[in-house]
Structure 1
Amino acid sequence: MFKANVGSSTAEDARAAGREAAAAAGAGLEDVKVVLAYCSCDYNVDEVVAGIGEAIPDVPVLGNTSFTGVVVPGAGYVGGDVPFVGVMALADPEMVVSVVAANRAENDDPVEAGVAMAETALDLAETDFAPEYFYMAASPAEEEFYLKGISSVIGREPFFGGSAADNTIAGNWKLYAGDQSFADGCVAAFFWNAPSMTNVFTGAYRETDDFGVITKVEGNRTIAEIDGVPAAKKLQEWAGCSDDDIAGGNLLAYTVLSPLGVKDRLGDLIAIRHPMNGNEDFSINVGNNVTEKTCVIRMEATVDELIQSVPDTLRQLIDRMPGEPAAFHLVHCGGRRAGIDARIGEVAAAVAEVAGDVPYIMEFTFGEYGFESDNNNTCGGLMLSFTGFSN
Structure 2
Amino acid sequence: MHVRSAQSGATNGATALQDIAARLGLSDGPRPDFLALHFGIGLSAELLHDLAHDLIGGQALHGGSSCLGVMGRDGIELGGAGLGALAIWDPAGSYGTASAALGADAGAAARAAALQALQRAGRPGEMPEMVWLTVAPGREEQVIEGLRPVVGPETMIVGGSSADNEVSGDWRQFGPDGVHRDGVVVSVLFPSRAIASVYQSGYTPTPFGGLVTSAESRKLIQIDGRPAAEVLHEWSGGAVPMAGGSARSILADSTLWPLGRETRLLAGVPFHLLAHPATAHVDGSVDLFADVAVGDRLWQMQGSANSLVARAGRVAEQARDILRAPVGGALIVYCGGCMLAVRDRMDEVRAGIVAALGDVPWIGVFTFGEQGRPVADRSRHGNLMISCTVLAGPDD
TM-score for the superposition, normalised by structure 1: 0.93
Q: Residues 81-104 of structure 1: CA distance to partner in whole angstroms, max 9, x if unpaired?
A: x52111111111111111010112
CA contact (8 A) 2:59 2:95 kept: no
Tell me, in whole angstroms, the C-alpha distance in 2 between the residues paired with 1:169 and 1:177. 22
Shift of residue 245 of structure 1? 5.8
1:54-133 alignment runs, 5 A limit: 54-56=54-56, 60-74=60-74, 76-80=75-79, 82-104=80-102, 107-124=103-120, 125-133=122-130
Q: Which one is further off, 378-387 or 6-15? A: 6-15
Q: Residues 8-29 of structure 1: CA distance to partner in whole angstroms, max 9, x if unpaired?
A: 1122321221221133134697
The residue type equivalent to 1:147 in the other structure is I
Tell me, in whole angstroms, the C-alpha distance in 2 between the residues paired with 1:367 and 1:373. 19
Give the match's secondary structure for 1:32.
coil
Tell me, in whole angstroms, the C-alpha distance in 2 between the residues paired with 1:195 and 1:216. 47
Q: Residues 267-326 of structure 1: CA distance to partner in whole angstroms, max 9, x if unpaired?
A: 553111000111111111111111110101111111111111121221122122121111
Shift of residue 224 of structure 1? 0.3
Q: Residues 61-115 of structure 1: CA distance to partner in whole angstroms, max 9, x if unpaired?
A: 21211001111112x11132x52111111111111111010112xx421111122
Matched, 1:255 2:254: yes
Tell me, in whole angstroms, the C-alpha distance in 2 between the residues paired with 1:30 and 1:350. 33
Give the match's secondary structure for 1:293.
coil
**Which residue number in structure 2 is paired with residue 37 of structure 1?**
37
Unaligned runs of 5+ in 1: none
Give the match's secondary structure for 2:214.
strand
Shift of residue 237 of structure 1? 1.8
The residue type equivalent to 2:289 in the other structure is G
Give the match's secondary structure for 1:345.
helix
Shift of residue 56 of structure 1? 4.2
- Pairing partner for 1:315 from 309, 313, 317: 317
Tell me, in whole angstroms, the C-alpha distance in 1 between the residues paired with 2:43 and 2:345. 25
Distance 1:293 1:43, change over 3 A: same
Tell me, in whole angstroms, the C-alpha distance in 2 between the residues paired with 1:378 and 1:83. 29
**Which residue number in structure 2 is paired with residue 345 of structure 1?**
347
Tell me, in whole angstroms, the C-alpha distance in 2 between the residues paired with 1:242 and 1:193. 46
CA contact (8 A) 2:331 2:388 kept: yes
CA contact (8 A) 1:26 1:56 kept: no
**Which residue number in structure 2 is paired with residue 165 of structure 1?**
163
1:192-341 alignment runs, 5 A limit: 192-218=190-216, 220-241=217-238, 244=241, 248-266=247-265, 269-341=271-343
Distance 1:366 1:360, change over 3 A: same
Shift of residue 55 of structure 1? 4.6
Shift of residue 176 of structure 1? 0.7
Shift of residue 249 of structure 1? 4.6
The residue type equivalent to 1:178 in the other structure is P
Distance 1:317 1:243, change over 3 A: closer
Shift of residue 349 of structure 1? 2.6
The residue type equivalent to 2:168 in the other structure is A
Q: Which one is further off, 16-25 or 355-364? A: 16-25
The residue type equivalent to 1:112 in the other structure is A
The residue type equivalent to 1:301 in the other structure is G
Matched, 1:176 2:171: no
CA RMSD of aligned residues (A): 2.0
The residue type equivalent to 2:71 in the other structure is V
Identity percentage over the alignment? Answer: 26
Tell me, in whole angstroms, the C-alpha distance in 2 between the residues paired with 1:91 and 1:26. 12
Q: Which one is further off, 344-353 or 297-306? A: 344-353
Tell me, in whole angstroms, the C-alpha distance in 2 between the residues paired with 1:209 and 1:68. 35
Shift of residue 122 of structure 1? 3.0
Unaligned runs of 5+ in 2: none
Distance 1:5 1:67, change over 3 A: same
Distance 1:377 1:359, change over 3 A: same
Distance 1:324 1:243, change over 3 A: closer
Tell me, in whole angstroms, the C-alpha distance in 1 between the residues paired with 2:198 and 2:29. 27
Distance 1:160 1:19, change over 3 A: same
Matched, 1:25 2:24: yes
CA contact (8 A) 1:261 1:273 kept: yes
Tell me, in whole angstroms, the C-alpha distance in 2 between the residues paired with 1:232 and 1:116. 38
